[in-house]
Amino acid sequence: MRALAAHLRDMLVVRGQLARLELSVAARQLRRLGTVWTLAALMILVSLPLWLVALADTLHDVLGISRAGWLCLIAGLLTVAATLAMWTAWRRFRRAFVGLEETLEELREDMLWLREWTETAPASSPDSPDE
């Protein structure tokens, strides 16, 4: 019984280490996603006021479409580009994110092993003096 207790204790320590490793990977992935989304939002906020007006004025002089029309078109294109960047980052994150997947699988296997071990363990030893 002591061997089983020691084995269970060792097993729990290893599972705890696995969980910590998986959580650190998940945290890194979340930080990466947050960085990409933050940069995409900053691109929209910083670039729009600077480029939209200058480009719309230039296009108005060259092609004759109103300044407001060009501003709307360019703003739409930048918004679509930023949204596409966020969507791509989200898909990459979802595809790579594992969370505690391996830890939970290992714990399921441990529970099956324990169930099998406890069901097949003899109730008493054949050499016991009580018989």
* Model confidence pLDDT, tens digit, residues 52-95: 788 788 888 888 888 888 888 888 998 999 999 999 999 999 88
Residue 31, domain member (yes or no)? yes
Residue 115 lies in a domain: yes
Number of domains the chain contains = 1
Backbone angles phi, psi at 122, to 5 degrees: -70, 145
Cβ of 82: how many Cβ atoms within 10 Å? 20
* Residues 19-44 as b or e (16 or more Cβ within 10 Å = b): beebeeebeebeeebeebbeebeeee
Please indicate, yes or no, if residue 1 is contained in any of the structural domains.
no
pTM: 0.48
Distance in angstroms (rounded) separating the CA atoms of residues 74 and 59: 11
Residue 128 lies in a domain: no
What's the domain range around 54? Answer: 22-119
Q: Is residue 74 part of a domain?
A: yes
Asked if residue 48 belongs to a domain, the reply is: yes
Looking at residues 105-125, what average pLDDT do you find? 80
> Exposure of 18 by Cβ count < 10 A (0-12 exposed, 13-18 middle, 19+ buried)?
middle
